[in-house]
Amino acid sequence: MTIPAIPTLDIESTRTWRHVVSVIVRDPLSLASLIIIVAFILMAVFANQIAPYPEQGAGKTNAANTMAPPSADNLFGADKLGRDVLSRVIVGARSALIIPIFVVVFAVLLGAPLGALAGYKGGWVDEVIMRITDLFLAFPSLLLAMAIAFALGRGLDKAAIALIISWWPWYTRIARGVAVGLRERYFVEAAQAAGVSDAVIIFRHILPNTISPILVQATVDMGTVILAMGGLAFLGLGTQPPAPDWGLMVSEGRTYMLNQWWIATYPGLAIFIVVLAFNLLGDTLRDIFDPRQYR
């Protein structure tokens, strides 16, 4: 026998932003995740002020210090060109973090309105948009991004474009799912009855309601996109040397893994921590916005 929800006590269904913040702050794991993410973002923004050797972080070589193990001077050691690994990790946070944020934001801006349009309009509009997304979703995202990045050529900007192209369909799907549910809701019909235009209905009545599921997905995706960026850099398709990038550093350092372990380990650890933080935060947000899954 299933137990129906108790509608009379549904006073928690109203999830305001203040409520979201209060839940995150009370849960140690998600609070830690939030702090880590904010710290890494601040680190990326103020990289030049924080890094002990900002110029080495950006790529200046220091032949005297080649493969130096961790010490007081180089806390994380130095790489094969003598550059301080700590500085490279800090400066590398820019491409590793800021770029994925841009990627996700643009993918959402492109994907969500299309999904809302598809879900609201239905019919052939829906068919066309969703079949296009199917086309994209048929390939594994990373593989697709690789192929596009390869076609566009090397470079950070091109890797970012490649990732946006392979990521937007996910948000289209989510937004469409929400919009289909809302299309039959009375407030949409009320707006139609008042003569409100379709564009206004989509932007004013439908899109705002897709924010929570998209935010959850985007947070979890941040981790995946960071990994994908790293992967592209690892393959030589993203950031180009001598610019620093966590994925690139892991790629360069992996040959020395046994003897000079610090070169690949520290950037790898940075990727691990940030991705984990985003995933944990995403899980918490999902619990808040969609508690049914975890009853």
Partner 1 sequence: MSVLLEVKDLNLEFKTSRGVLKALNGITFEVRRGEVFGIVGETGCGKTVTGLSILRLLPRSAKITKGMIKFDGINLLDLPPSEMEQVRGGKAAMIFQDPSSSLNPVFTIGSQLVRVIRQHTELNAKQAEARASETLDAVGLPDIKRIMTSYPHQLSGGQQQRVMIAMALSCRPQLLLADEPTTALDVTIQAQILKLLRDLQKQFDISVILITHNLGVVAQTCDRLAVLYAGRVAEIGSTHDIFNNPQHPYTRGLMNAIPKPGSRGKKMAAIPGTVPSNPGEMTGCPFAPRCEFAFERCSMETPALLKASEGHLASCFLVEHAG
Partner 2 sequence: MTNLIEVHSLKKHFRLPGGWLSGETKHVYAVDGVDLSIASGETFGLVGESGCGKTTLGRMILRLIEPTSGKVIFDGKDITAIEKSRMKPIRREMQIVFQNPLSSLSPRLRVEQIIAEPLTTHGILSKERIRPRVIELLEQVGLGRQHLDRFPHEMSGGQCQRVAVARALALNPKLIVLDEPTSALDVSVQAQIINLLDELKKTLGLTYLFISHDLNVVQHISDRIGVMYLGKLVEVGDAQDVFDEPLHPYTQALFGAIPMPVVDTKRELKVLEGNVPSPVNPPSGCRFHTRCPIAQKMCQETEPALRPVRGARQAACHFVE
Residues that bind partner 1 (CB under 8 A): 1-4, 6-9, 11-12, 19, 22-23
Tell me the per-residue interface mask from 36 to 55 with partner 2, x by CB under 8 A, - otherwise. --------------------
Placement of tokens 């850099």 in the chain: 233
Residue 192 site contact among partner 1, partner 2, none (CB < 5 to 8 Å, cut-off depends on kind): partner 2
- Closest separation in Å from C-beta 27 to partner 1: 12
Interacting positions 152-211 with partner 2 (CB under 8 A):
185-187, 189-197, 200, 204-205, 208-209
- Closest separation in Å from C-beta 182 to partner 2: 9
Nearer to partner 1, 22 or 255 (CB): 22
Q: Which uninterrupted H or E stretch holds 131? A: helix 123-137
Nearer to partner 2, 140 or 208 (CB): 208
Helix axes 262-289, 207-234, angle to 10 degrees: 170
Q: What is the 3-state secondary structure (H, E, C) of 71-97?
A: CCCCCCCECCCCCEHHHHHHHHHHHHH
Nearer to partner 2, 19 or 254 (CB): 19
Task: Point out which residues pair with 121 in neighbouring strands.
Answer: none
Residue 254 site contact among partner 1, partner 2, none (CB < 5 to 8 Å, cut-off depends on kind): none
Residue 50 CA to residue 42 CA, distance in Å, equals 10
Nearer to partner 1, 2 or 259 (CB): 2
Tell me if 8 contacts partner 2 by CB under 8 A.
Answer: no
Rounded alpha-carbon distances, angstroms, from residue 80 to 51, 56, 95, 242, 263: 19, 12, 21, 12, 8
Q: Are the C-beta atoms of 108 and 167 separated by less than 8 Å? A: no
Residue 273 CA to residue 36 CA, distance in Å, equals 8
Total of chain residues touching partner 2, rule CB under 8 A: 19
Nearer to partner 1, 12 or 184 (CB): 12
Question: How close are the terminal C-alpha atoms of the chain, in Å?
Answer: 16
- Closest separation in Å from C-beta 274 to partner 1: 29
Residue 9 site contact among partner 1, partner 2, none (CB < 5 to 8 Å, cut-off depends on kind): partner 1
Q: Are the C-beta atoms of 87 and 57 separated by less than 8 Å? A: yes
Residues forming contacts to partner 2 in the complex (CB under 8 A) are 13-14, 185-187, 189-197, 200, 204-205, 208-209
